[in-house]
Amino acid sequence: MRRRQFLGAVMSSTILPKFAFGATPPFRLTAEPVQVQLLPSDSAATSMFGFNGSMPGPELRLRQGERLKIDFQNNLTQGSSVHWHGLRIENAMDGVPGLTQEVVNAGDSFQYDMAPPDAGTFWYHSHNVSQEQVAKGLVGALIVDEINPPDVDHDVTVLIADWRLLDGGAFDEEFGDLMSLSHGGRMGNYARTFMSQETVKKGDRIRLRLINAAADRIFPLVLTGAIGKIVALDGMPLSEPRAFDNISLAPAQRADLIVDAVQDIEIGMLTRGPTFPLGKLTIEGENTTRIASPIPLLPKNNVATPAQPSQNLTLTMMGGAMGNRHGGSDIWAFNDISGLPTEPFGSFSRGETARISLVNDTAFPHGIHLHGHHFNEVNDDGSLGDLRDTALVDAGKTTDILCVFDNPGKWLFHCHMLSHQAAGMKTWINVA
């Protein structure tokens, strides 16, 4: 199945196969090989990895203030680990082999025990050989409900990803293709959503939690059939609901929308040609009791406001095809170093605010993710921008971020185009 077919109508977005959404505590999360009906049901199933027998893994859901205890069991034939993307938790639970824990070997288990401070839309994924294990399906949604959630009729999780498949639907096991690694990453040739439900009523108010769980692809999304606003990005509420035409999500980024259903809600990906359908929420019946009201604000999470920065650092993305020469030993580098350096890129005392210029000196966009913290992007006019955990920086552009480093430990700082981080684009910081 090559690009031509991907762009063609392989996908009837009518019947999406069901999979396990929702699990109840205590959570046991088992990574294992699974057969997934990724393509429409008249096609063959695909051999992938999953959690608890499904890909994506079960949606983990808790209330703000609750602890999350997970018994992770690795039933793969290779090492693995789980990272709780966007949760500002204790360093030892962050799931990064070699930095925060030992790899969980085949057949072994590890207990994660966390107290996530923030309500919002997060996700979990493998953090070992992640460019392969995430691409093969070790992903799932993680939702922390507000103590007082907004008034909506449905709360719908929409996990979006792409996969590279061979003719007939088998998973393409080739991960070493240099062309992909040195360009935008290893893009799939098939993409779709997995949603926690498939129907709504006309007139319903719906919270949509969009999660880009792809290994490398930026999704430029369009949404039709609903009217509403963006209320949160990367799990963090916006200070005001924001209008949108389309929404670009880098790998690992999330957007929460609150919308009112007007007709079938279709989610598609913008392409140079016609919009590629990713999934839809079909209208069945009509909600006649909901009274029109403005899109509500979400309650803020307790994230420290940046002070005057006491350090100004620059992280320059280097390498790739058509890139300048750099001093690193692999395809990609940060500040002339490929892979994890022995010394951290930055050292901060707990509570310190630093400003970091993310300079993209390459020919490709990168989604830069900091573990254990959220940071504010700085707007072009110098004002404090959105709180995020992953910043999308376009080719040739610079984005400044301000971060209050208040979570002690060694934290990974890397490109979330997972092929790029595997080919050198990663570093770490230390908060003491």
- The binding site for ligand C2O (CB under 6 A) comprises 83, 85, 125, 127, 252, 369, 371, 412, 414, 416
Residue 326: name its binding partner from Cu ion, ligand C2O, none (Cβ under 5 to 8 Å by kind): none
The yes or no reply on residue 414 touching Cu ion (CB under 5 A) is no
Residue 47 Cβ, how far from ligand C2O at the closest point, in Å? 24
Q: Which is nearer to Cu ion, 127 or 209 (CB)?
A: 127
Q: Which is nearer to ligand C2O, 164 or 369 (CB)?
A: 369
Of the ranges 101-109, 149-157, 380-388, 409-417, which one interacts with Cu ion (CB under 5 A)? 409-417
In residues, how long is the chain? Answer: 432
The yes or no reply on residue 415 touching Cu ion (CB under 5 A) is yes
Residue 96 Cβ, how far from ligand C2O at the closest point, in Å? 7
Q: Which is nearer to ligand C2O, 251 or 279 (CB)?
A: 251
CA dihedral 95, 310, 382, 298 (to 10 degrees): 40
The yes or no reply on residue 417 touching Cu ion (CB under 5 A) is yes
Residue 369 Cβ, how far from ligand C2O at the closest point, in Å? 5
Q: In which region does residue 284 sit, left (phi positive, over 0), alpha (psi from -120 to 50) or beta (all else)?
A: beta
Q: Which is nearer to ligand C2O, 207 or 414 (CB)?
A: 414
**Strands of 366-370's sheet, edge to edge?**
346-348, 426-431, 409-415, 366-370, 390-393
The yes or no reply on residue 420 touching Cu ion (CB under 5 A) is yes
Closest CA to 89 of 405, 373, 431: 373
Which residue number places its CB atom closest to ligand C2O? 85
Measured from the Cβ of residue 107, the count of other Cβ atoms closer than 10 Å reads: 10
Residue 390 Cβ, how far from ligand C2O at the closest point, in Å? 8
Q: Which is nearer to ligand C2O, 164 or 371 (CB)?
A: 371
Residue 366 Cβ, how far from Cu ion at the closest point, in Å? 3
Burial of 43: CB neighbours in 10 Å, binned 0-12, 13-18, 19+: middle
Q: Which is nearer to ligand C2O, 21 or 411 (CB)?
A: 411
Q: Which is nearer to ligand C2O, 122 or 276 (CB)?
A: 122
Partnered with residue 412 across adjacent β-strands are: 428
Q: In which region does residue 234 sit, left (phi positive, over 0), alpha (psi from -120 to 50) or beta (all else)?
A: left
Residue 83 Cβ, how far from ligand C2O at the closest point, in Å? 5
Residue 83: name its binding partner from ligand C2O, Cu ion, none (Cβ under 5 to 8 Å by kind): ligand C2O
Report the half-sphere exposure of 45 (CA within 13 A, side-chain side): 11
**Strands of 398-405's sheet, edge to edge?**
332-334, 311-319, 352-360, 398-405, 375-378, 384-388
Closest CA to 231 of 194, 206, 264: 206
Instruction: Annotate each residue in 352-391 with x if it binds Cu ion (CB under 5 A) or - if it does not, as one string.
Output: --------------x-------------------------
Q: Which is nearer to ligand C2O, 85 or 164 (CB)?
A: 85
Q: Which is nearer to Cu ion, 165 or 356 (CB)?
A: 356
Residue 107 Cβ, how far from ligand C2O at the closest point, in Å? 24
Residue matched to tokens 């022995």: 342
C-alpha gyration radius of the chain: 21
Residue 96 Cβ, how far from Cu ion at the closest point, in Å? 18
Residue 415: name its binding partner from Cu ion, ligand C2O, none (Cβ under 5 to 8 Å by kind): Cu ion
Residue 7 Cβ, how far from ligand C2O at the closest point, in Å? 28
> Helix, strand, or coil here: 420?
helix
The yes or no reply on residue 217 touching Cu ion (CB under 5 A) is no
For residue 68, give Cα distances in angstroms to 57, 90, 145, 151, 160.
16, 12, 13, 25, 24
> Helix, strand, or coil here: 180?
helix
Residue matched to tokens 């899109």: 295
Interacting residues with Cu ion (CB under 5 A): 366, 415, 417, 420
